């Protein structure tokens, strides 16, 4: 029996189709639990990969494991702020940024991945606490993403952002294998 090939770019599959209807409380809980678990899972995968492998790309032409971990911290900080903006402003336009340029900034080489892993632990603690306290009405609040010319509900963002963390956890897992 042949071992199935792993898609190195999308080891857990491509981004999900976002729901058009509000999520149920049970569906939300599953996604929130994925976000809550991510920092510990990413830390464990980084330890398993080890320092030398984290300096390598997870696939030809990709970021190194180090860059991926710093990217997750950078982007999840932005995701958290998007939630806070949507909860306090009417359909705010969020700011897009160049993730590749951010990955090349000098702090990515100078700062150990443990700093970004600690940041993720603290950030997700705050973010998950916020998420558990939202009302059904708050989950339907929105923000506008100019890069995609699309308005997202917080339910849709939750689905997308929980996938994002697991997606990059899969990349670190490729280095740990």
Question: What pLDDT digit, counting tens, does each position of 2-47 carry?
Answer: 556 688 999 999 999 999 999 999 999 999 999 999 999 999 999 9
What mean pLDDT do residues 96-123 have?
Answer: 96
Closest CA to 158 of 3, 34, 6: 34
The topology under which CATH files domain 38-176 is 1.20.120
| Residue 104 near residue 152, CB atoms below 8 Å | no
Domains of the chain, residue spans: 38-176
User: Alpha-carbon distance 112 to 81, whole Å?
Assistant: 24
Express each pLDDT in 145-164 by its tens digit.
999 999 999 999 999 999 99
| DSSP tag of 134 | -
User: Alpha-carbon distance 110 to 116, whole Å?
Assistant: 12
| DSSP tag of 133 | T
User: Alpha-carbon distance 25 to 63, whole Å?
Assistant: 36
User: Alpha-carbon distance 171 to 57, whole Å?
Assistant: 9
Instruction: Output the pLDDT for position 177.
Output: 84
Sign of CA dihedral 53, 58, 61, 63: negative
User: Alpha-carbon distance 114 to 111, whole Å?
Assistant: 8
Instruction: Output the pLDDT for position 89.
Output: 98
Residue 80 has pLDDT above 90, yes or no: yes
């Amino acid at each position: 029996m042949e071992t199935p090939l792993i898609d190195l770019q999308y080891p857990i599959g491509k981004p999900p189709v976002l729901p058009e209807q509000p999520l149920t409380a049970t569906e939300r809980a599953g996604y929130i639990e994925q976000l809550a678990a991510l920092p510990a899972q990413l830390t464990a995968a980084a330890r398993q990969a080890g320092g030398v492998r984290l300096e390598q790309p997870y696939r030809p032409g990709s970021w190194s494991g180090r860059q991926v971990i710093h990217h997750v911290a950078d982007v999840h900080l932005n995701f958290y702020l998007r939630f806070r903006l949507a909860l306090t402003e009417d359909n705010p336009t969020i700011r897009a940024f160049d993730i590749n340029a951010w990955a090349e900034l000098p702090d990515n080489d100078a700062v150990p991945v443990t700093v970004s892993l600690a940041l993720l632990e603290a950030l997700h603690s705050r973010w998950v606490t916020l998420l558990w306290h939202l009302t059904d009405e708050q989950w339907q609040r929105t923000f506008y993403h100019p890069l995609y010319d699309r308005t997202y509900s917080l339910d849709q963002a939750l689905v997308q952002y929980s996938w994002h963390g697991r997606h990059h956890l899969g990349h670190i897992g490729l280095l740990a294998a």
